[in-house]
Structure 1
Amino acid sequence: MKAPNLTQHPPRSPRVRLGGYTILPRLLDKARATLASTNGEYIYNNPNDGHFFRFTGITPEALLEQVKTGAGDWDLLLWVNEHVPLKRTALEIQQWSGWTETVAFNDVDMREWFTGQIKRLNPAREDLRGTFDYLDLDDYVSFGGVA
């Protein structure tokens, strides 16, 4: 199985889509890296990953078992589509993916945490609104970029 080394570079952006699903390519990168012990600080089945698992009904354990086979992204997408207990239309997947791109931290404690992270990364940034904005910027800065 080929696995990315997430101590050397970040996983794909949560915005990248596979079969219309946001989050899935990043999730696969983290799963492969976790199995290879090259995940660094990236955590498989974190709260952001949970959006995908709740939407599809696939369990994190089942997906990880399938990733262990060494299948590529396309074959894993086919497996997801065959095994989702919650069958979704292309339109539902598109709408869900659009929603994930705009999701923000709703809980007061998480909003405070988010604000603290933005201050750490670059307090002048006023364009950061949601989870994906934060993840993309944090990935960039974590590997030498300037916010």
Structure 2
Amino acid sequence: MNKKVTGKNLEREAPRSPRIRVGGYAILGRTIDKCRALVAGNIWEYHFDCPVDNMLFGFKGVKGDDFKAQIEQGASDQEMVEWLHRNGEEKTQEEIKRWGDEVIATRPHDDPERRDWFAEKVKPLGLDPAKTTLFEWLEVDDKACHAKAA
């Protein structure tokens, strides 16, 4: 491959919603967008290999550095799906779907260790921490950050 890596300029537009499934995997499109932006030098305030990315990496049993190495070689979305299928723990399509459904429904408010942190993040955006999923917060936060930057 060895292509010049280009991606979204995350200062101008948000990465994909973590709800958007790529190859059946929730989070994957967002993780790819952030990693490409990191490699291309325009990740802005986003972070690759963050706790959300690590939900995916942990599910599959892969490392962020190994994922990034594929992106650095110019891997497409489909090539990253194929790489995930070949690496880490083998997962059936049913397991991938079930995991995706679970992470999409994750409510940090339900976790006593994350409840206060989450409330601090969502309340300034006008969201109810008890009713807001992690991914809903990320989507609203993306919009708010880009509205401020515009």
Both proteins in one fold, TM over 0.5: yes
How many residues align? The count is 143
Partner of 2:21: 17
Q: Percent identity?
A: 31
Partner of 2:106: 103
User: Is contact 1:11–1:26 with CA below 8 Å preserved after alignment?
Assistant: yes
Unpaired runs of 5+ residues, structure 1, are none
What is the distance in 2 between the residues matched to 1:109 and 1:41? 25
Unpaired runs of 5+ residues, structure 2, are none
Partner of 1:117: 121
CA drift of 1:103 comes to: 1.0
What is the distance in 1 between the residues matched to 2:78 and 2:14? 21
CA drift of 1:28 comes to: 0.4
TM-score (norm 2): 0.88
AA in 1 matched with 2:30? R
User: Is contact 2:125–2:141 with CA below 8 Å preserved after alignment?
Assistant: yes
AA in 1 matched with 2:55? H
What RMSD, in angstroms, separates the aligned Cα atoms of the two structures?
Answer: 1.8
User: Aligned to 2:79, which of 58, 75, 78?
Assistant: 75
What is the distance in 1 between the residues matched to 2:20 and 2:115? 24
Secondary structure class of the residue paired with 1:144: helix
What is the distance in 1 between the residues matched to 2:67 and 2:118? 29
Partner of 1:144: 147
CA drift of 1:71 comes to: 1.6
TM-score (norm 1): 0.89
